[in-house]
């Protein structure tokens, strides 16, 4: 038996997402989130550094991407390494059972500038990690930047497609396909 109700963080995330959906991010106070989770403001800030982060906490994403790029076959080019990373993400993070949660979360984020701002920053960090991982494979700096940007773009588009509930394809498969389209488009610039 635990001393307190378990999964405090998860309860906070759930409470927050519900409240954001019900009355919007700005009309929800941290105290209200904590109360719905059966906790207090103090405990909230012990689990998350700020109010926005409650929707960005699960982020082991960076590690997965870096690992995915590093683990790509030795002969693979930059974009192939990125595709490999997107595969890893699809298998480890974007599983079908998390799709609904992801879509709800994304809707809340899109509806609020403050949350979009945090998302943008996370995106920069992710892209920077991809660049580093590619450089570690021996890819020249500029090429690494370009590959990372194209990969991030494909990721974003693939995620939108994958979130569509009428589409049951695996994320990795969608991402590979999208990345190929992006690469083809880049040749037409």
**Rounded to the nearest whole angstrom, what is the least distance from the CB of residue 186 to a second copy in the complex?**
5
Q: In the stretch 135-174, what mask flags binding to a second copy with x, by CB under 8 A? A: -----x-xx-xxx-xx-xx---x-----------------
Cβ-based neighbour number of residue 189 at 10 Å? 4
| CA–CA dist 161, 171 (Å, integer) | 9
Contacts with DNA by CB under 7 A lie at 1-4, 8, 28-31, 34, 38-43, 45-47, 49-52
Contact indicator for 42, 15 with CB cutoff of 8 Å: no
Sign of CA dihedral 77, 82, 85, 91: negative
Q: Is 98 in the site for a second copy (CB under 8 A)?
A: no
Residue count at the site for a second copy (CB under 8 A)?
A: 30
CB of 129 to DNA, least distance (A): 24
131 is an interface residue for a second copy by CB under 8 A? no
Smallest distance, Å, CB 119 to a second copy? 9
Asked if residue 113 binds a second copy (CB under 8 A), the reply is yes
DSSP character string of 31-57: HHHHHHTT--HHHHHHH-SSSGGGGTT
Q: How far is the CB of 95 from a second copy (least distance, A)?
A: 27
Characterize 91-126 residue by residue with b for buried, 16 or more Cβ atoms within 10 angstroms of its Cβ, and e for exposed. eebbeeeebeebbebbebbeebeebeebbeeeeeeb
Q: How far is the CB of 44 from a second copy (least distance, A)?
A: 20
Q: Which does 47 bind (CB under 5 to 8 A by kind): a second copy, DNA, none?
A: DNA
> What is the Cα–Cα distance from 181 to 176, expressed in whole angstroms?
9
Q: HSE, CB side, 13 Å, CA atoms: give it for residue 119.
A: 15
Q: Provide the mask over 51-80, with x wherever binding to a second copy is found by CB under 8 A and - wherever it is not.
A: --------------------------xxx-
Residue ranges that bind a second copy, judged by CB under 8 A: 77-79, 113, 116-118, 120-121, 123-124, 140, 142-143, 145-147, 149-150, 152-153, 157, 181-183, 185-189
């Amino acid at each position: 038996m635990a001393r307190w109700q378990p999964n405090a963080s998860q309860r906070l995330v759930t409470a927050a997402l519900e409240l954001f959906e019900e009355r919007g991010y700005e009309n929800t106070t941290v105290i209200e989130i904590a109360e719905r989770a059966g906790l207090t403001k103090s405990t909230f800030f012990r689990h998350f550094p700020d109010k926005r982060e409650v929707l960005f906490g699960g982020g082991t994403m960076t590690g997965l991407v870096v690992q995915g790029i590093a683990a790509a076959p030795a002969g693979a080019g930059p974009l192939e390494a990125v595709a490999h990373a997107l595969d890893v993400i699809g298998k480890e993070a974007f599983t079908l059972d998390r799709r609904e949660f992801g879509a709800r979360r994304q809707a809340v984020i899109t509806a609020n500038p403050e949350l979009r701002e945090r998302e943008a920053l996370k995106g920069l960090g992710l892209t920077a990690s991809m660049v580093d991982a590619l450089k570690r494979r021996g890819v020249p700096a500029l090429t690494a930047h370009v590959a990372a940007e194209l990969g991030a773009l494909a990721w974003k588009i693939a995620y939108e497609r994958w979130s569509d509930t009428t589409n049951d394809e695996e994320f990795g498969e969608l991402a590979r396909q999208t990345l190929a389209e992006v690469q083809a488009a880049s040749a037409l610039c």
